[in-house]
Amino acid sequence: MIVYQGHEGAYSHLACKHVFPDKKARACVSFRAAMEKVEQGRCGLAMIPLENSTAGRVEEIYRLIPQMSLHIIDEHFEPVNHCLMAPPGASLKSLKTVYSHPQALAQCAEKIQALGVTAVATLDTAGAAMAVAENNDLSEAAIASSLAAELYDLEIMEEFFQDMKGNTTRFIILSHEQRLPPLQPGINYITSLLFKVRNIPAALYKALGGFATNQINLVKLESYMPPGSLNASQFHADIEGHVNAKNMQLALEELGFFAEEVRLLGTYAAHAARAGRIFKV
């Protein structure tokens, strides 16, 4: 079984269906609830959104990951087609309010402004669609997936409602068990790490120097304060390459001199959406 945050019809639900069509998917009320089910061994996997090409990172996930003993075993890039939907009989002129998750509202901000309607944030996109269907108010609309429109009997008033083309959400697939794939030539890999830098001058510069000298590219580096501290920085890094590759081992050895609490989150095959870059081992 795989779990996700939101109601049935959420984009996370859609991602589960695309990646694991034969696996049962179960909705959870929050990201924490979904991740805790996997950490406690009550479910095998969790499909969790990490970032969106338009609205940026899902900040809550970066705070939750360090608190849990979970491993990233795969990634998935899901194209997002936001649909504006309303009860049957509604028209664009009748709409006064549109509901959706804050990320979806941010991704459709210009379209919403052009309609001249009020945007109201909800816990998730599919939940917004369900509420609009239950209210059956012709002045209300939701922004959600086509799956949500189908599940809740809403009419799609406009497809591709997002402001920018190519809108994509990157999901990570979390497991309680570490699953490192074998290092194979010709396969593209991503390695994800958590670490804190030591309290010394130029610590981050020195910590990352080993990746530069070993010709390894960092594709993502997120910084945030760990709980209970104002003078320490924690980093989440996504790095091109396999953790067992020789150059990666050398870079991690150098990282260890200038960082503390280095934690491997996972090594996994890079999604095909990254094909614009070449980083084969």
- Residue-wise pLDDT for 69-110, tens only, equals 999 999 999 998 999 999 999 999 999 999 999 989 998 999
| 271 secondary structure, DSSP code | P
Residue 65 and residue 111 share a domain? no
Q: Does residue 279 lie within any of the structural domains? A: no
Measured in whole angstroms, how far is the alpha carbon of residue 220 from the centre of its chain? 13
CA–CA gap between residue 247 and residue 267 (Å, rounded) = 15
Q: Which domain holds residue 252?
A: 189-274
What is the band of 223 on the pLDDT scale with cuts at 50, 70, 90? Answer: confident
Return the CATH number at 255: 3.30.70.260
Q: Does residue 183 lie within any of the structural domains? A: no
Residue 51 and residue 8 share a domain? yes
Residue 67 and residue 87 in contact, taking contact as beta carbons nearer than 8 Å? no
Task: Single out the catalytic residue among 31, 161, 171, 235.
Answer: 171
Distances from the Cα of 22 to the Cαs of 1, 74, 221, in angstroms? Answer: 10, 17, 34
The DSSP-derived string for 43-96 is SSEEEEEEEETTTEE-HHHHHHGGGS--EEEEEEEEE---EEEE-TT--GGG--
Q: pLDDT per residue over 1-36, tens digit each?
A: 999 998 999 999 999 999 999 999 999 999 999 999
Q: Does residue 9 lie within any of the structural domains? A: yes
Q: Does residue 181 lie within any of the structural domains? A: no
Q: Does residue 68 lie within any of the structural domains? A: yes
What is the band of 232 on the pLDDT scale with cuts at 50, 70, 90? Answer: low
Residue 201 and residue 126 share a domain? no
Residue 21 neighbours by CB under 8 Å, 6+ apart: none
CA–CA gap between residue 210 and residue 16 (Å, rounded) = 37
Residue 66 and residue 89 share a domain? no
Task: Single out the catalytic residue among 169, 211, 235, 267.
Answer: 169
What is the signed CA dihedral for 162, 222, 38, 30, rounded to 10 degrees?
-50
Question: What pLDDT score was predicted for residue 197?
Answer: 85
Mean pLDDT of 146-152: 95
Q: Does residue 280 lie within any of the structural domains? A: no
Q: Which of these, 78, 72, 281, lies nearest to 192 by C-alpha position?
A: 72
Active site residue 191: no
Q: Does residue 182 lie within any of the structural domains? A: no
- Which of 134, 150, 175 is a domain's end point? 175
Active site residue 97: no
CA–CA gap between residue 197 and residue 216 (Å, rounded) = 19
Share of the chain above pLDDT 90, in %: 76
Residue 77 and residue 18 in contact, taking contact as beta carbons nearer than 8 Å? no
Please tell me the pTM assigned to this model: 0.86
Question: What pLDDT score was predicted for residue 253?
Answer: 94
Mean pLDDT of 226-237: 73
Q: Does residue 105 lie within any of the structural domains? A: yes
Residue 266 neighbours by CB under 8 Å, 6+ apart: 71, 72, 73, 178, 179, 180, 191, 192
